[in-house]
Amino acid sequence: MKAKHSTSRRRWLKRTGALALSAPYIITARSQETLIVNTQGGEYQELVERVVIRPFEKKFGVKVIHDPTGTASQDYAKIRAARGAPGFDVAGLLTPPEVILGVKEGLLEKLTEREVPNLRHLWDKTWQVIPAGSGAPHTLQYAALVYHKEKLERPRSWADYWEPQKKYGEKVKGHLINYNPANLLSVYALIHAAQLGKGGVDNMEPAWQRLKAQKPYVGVVVTGSAEAVPHFENGQVWISPYWSARSGYYIDRGLPFEMVIPDEGVIGLFDVACIPVGSKNKKLAYEFLNWRLDPAVQREWALAYFSSPTRPGVELPAKFAANQIVSKEQIAKTQFPDSDVIGARRKDWTLKWQEIMG
C-alpha cells in the first residue's frame, strides 16, 4: 500500500511539474487566440460588438477583448506614451490626423495587401487621405448639419448655422452649439465657415469672423460629439454640425431632428483601424482588419451605424443610400481637406477658438 501511495504521489508530482513547466506555453498559445481591440464606448460599443466583434469571434474561433475607452486622439496618445505597445492589438477608431502622425512617428504597422487582402478594394481616394498601407479605413461619414424640426425651418447652407440670425432671427439665441477644435467636427465646421468667406485651411480668418459673430447665439459649448446628445434631447440645441452616422443613429431612435447636406457640400471622414507596432498578436489583428473590410461586414456595419462603406459595390437599400457616399461621383464631390495641414495647424486654431469663445 505504501509503495503504491508513493508511486501515485510521484506520478502526481511528475504530472504537476510537467504542467507547471508547460504553463507558459499553454498561456502563450491561449493568448495568441485573444485579440484586444480598442474602439469607443456609448452606442458605438454595443454596435461594434454585435455587428463586428462577435461574428469575428464566431468565424475565427477566437476571443476578442473589447476596450471601449478613449477618443481617437486619446488612443493615439496612449500608443505614443507606450511607444507603440499600448496594450491593445488594434486601434480600431483613429482618424486621419492621428494616422498620419502615427506613420511619421513610426508607431503604426505598415500594411500590405498580402496581410490585408481587402485593402485592394477600397476607394482610390482613400490613399489620398491617409498614407498608403497605414491602416484599414472601415467607416466613411461626413460632417452634416442637423436641426430640430419642430423649432426651426430646414437650413440649406452652412451660413444658416454660422449666421443663424439672418435666417432665424433672435429666437435661435442660446440654441446653438459649438465644439472645441479638439474634435474634428469643429475643425470641419470651421473650414466650412472659412469657405463661406472665400477662405479655407490656408486662410481661416473668415471662420474667426463668423465665430465671433455667432458667439452671442451659442448656448452650449462641448468637446466630444457624444456630449452634445443630451442637449439635443432636452431641446436646448436646435441646430448643430454633426457626424452623419451618429445623426442617422439618433434620428432613427426618435430624436426630433433632421439631417441636411448643405448646398456647399460636406467634408468626409474616414474612421481607420490600425495596428500599433507593439501589437502582440499581429496575425489575428490583420485578420480583424480584413474582416472589417469584408463586403458583408461593411454592409451590416453601414446599416447599423448609418455610415457609408469604404469600398464601392456594397449594395444598400436605395432610401438608406440617399444620405450616404456610395458612388464615384459622390466621393469625388466630398471634400477631404489635407489632414497633415490640419494636424500641423490645429494647435493655433484651437488657441484662436479658445480666445474667442473663452
Judged by the rule CB under 8 A, the positions of this chain that interact with other proteins are 71, 73-74, 76-77, 80, 98, 101, 104-105, 174, 180, 182, 219, 221-223, 234-236, 340, 343-344, 346-347, 350-351, 354-355, 357-358
Say if residues 144 and 241 touch (Cβ distance below 8 Å): yes
User: What is the closest distance, in whole angstroms, from the C-beta atom of residue 25 to other proteins in the complex?
Assistant: 32
Nearer to other proteins by C-beta: 236 or 330?
236
User: What is the closest distance, in whole angstroms, from the C-beta atom of residue 333 to other proteins in the complex?
Assistant: 29
User: What is the closest distance, in whole angstroms, from the C-beta atom of residue 305 to other proteins in the complex?
Assistant: 24
User: What is the closest distance, in whole angstroms, from the C-beta atom of residue 344 to other proteins in the complex?
Assistant: 4
User: What is the closest distance, in whole angstroms, from the C-beta atom of residue 262 to other proteins in the complex?
Assistant: 24
Q: How far apart are CA 249 and CA 306, in angstroms?
A: 6
Q: How far apart are CA 261 and CA 127, in angstroms?
A: 25
Say if residues 145 and 267 touch (Cβ distance below 8 Å): no
Q: How far apart are CA 306 and CA 317, in angstroms?
A: 12
Q: How far apart are CA 246 and CA 43, in angstroms?
A: 9
Nearer to other proteins by C-beta: 73 or 209?
73
Nearer to other proteins by C-beta: 166 or 347?
347
User: What is the closest distance, in whole angstroms, from the C-beta atom of residue 358 to other proteins in the complex?
Assistant: 5
User: What is the closest distance, in whole angstroms, from the C-beta atom of residue 315 to other proteins in the complex?
Assistant: 38
DSSP state of 110: -
**Residue 104 contacts by C-beta under 8 Å, 6 or more apart in sequence?**
none
Strand partners, 122: none
Nearer to other proteins by C-beta: 226 or 316?
226
Nearer to other proteins by C-beta: 101 or 172?
101
Three-state DSSP state, 295? helix
Nearer to other proteins by C-beta: 45 or 236?
236
User: What is the closest distance, in whole angstroms, from the C-beta atom of residue 346 to other proteins in the complex?
Assistant: 6
User: What is the closest distance, in whole angstroms, from the C-beta atom of residue 42 to other proteins in the complex?
Assistant: 16
Nearer to other proteins by C-beta: 165 or 180?
180
**Assign residue 61 a region: left if phi > 0, alpha if psi is -120 to 50, beta otherwise?**
left
User: What is the closest distance, in whole angstroms, from the C-beta atom of residue 114 to other proteins in the complex?
Assistant: 29
Nearer to other proteins by C-beta: 181 or 309?
181
Q: How far apart are CA 309 and CA 312, in angstroms?
A: 7
Nearer to other proteins by C-beta: 236 or 334?
236
Task: Say if residue 128 is exposed, middle or buried (CB neighbours under 10 Å; 0-12, 13-18, 19+).
Answer: exposed
Q: How far apart are CA 36 and CA 50, in angstroms?
A: 16
CB atoms within 10 A of CB 177: 22
Which grid coordinates are listed for 267?
467634408
Nearer to other proteins by C-beta: 110 or 173?
173
CB atoms within 10 A of CB 174: 14
Q: How far apart are CA 112 and CA 352, in angstroms?
A: 40
Q: How far apart are CA 192 and CA 206, in angstroms?
A: 10
Which secondary-structure segment (H or E) carries 38? strand 34-38
Q: How far apart are CA 77 and CA 157, in angstroms?
A: 36
